[in-house]
């Protein structure tokens, strides 16, 4: 298992998000990215989870809603290294 603080991991996630090409980040409208240490207990190897309305399902009704959520789970990532 790789030793990495939560702060170091969050910095790497931020750097990775910054490297996403602009044409793709424009499509990430109303999406928030979070880092958590552990995935849900029923799926301990889960690396990340998207919760929300996929871009392909958004229609004219899609306004005034809470942001979709991408959660990246730190411990399964550092355990895989």
Specify the DSSP class assigned to residue 24. Answer: H
Alpha helices in the chain (DSSP H): 6-18, 22-25, 74-79
Q: What is the CA radius of gyration of the chain?
A: 15
Structure tokens belonging to residue 50: 């998207």
User: How far is 62 from 41, CA to CA, in rounded Å?
Assistant: 32
pLDDT tens digits along 8-33? 999 999 999 999 999 998 888 889 99
Q: In the predicted model, is pLDDT for residue 1 greater than 80?
A: no
pLDDT value for 64: 85
The domain spans of the chain are 6-79
pLDDT tens digits along 40-64? 999 999 999 999 988 888 888 888 8
Is domain 6-79 given the CATH code 3.30.2010.20 in the classification? yes
């Amino acid at each position: 298992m790789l030793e990495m603080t939560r702060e170091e991991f969050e910095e790497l996630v931020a750097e990775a998000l910054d490297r996403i090409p602009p044409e793709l980040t424009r499509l990430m409208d109303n999406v928030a990215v979070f880092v958590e240490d552990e995935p849900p207990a029923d799926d301990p190897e889960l690396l990340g989870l998207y919760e929300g309305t996929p871009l392909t399902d958004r229609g004219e009704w899609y306004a005034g809603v809470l942001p979709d959520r991408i959660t990246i789970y730190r411990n399964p990532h550092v355990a895989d290294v």
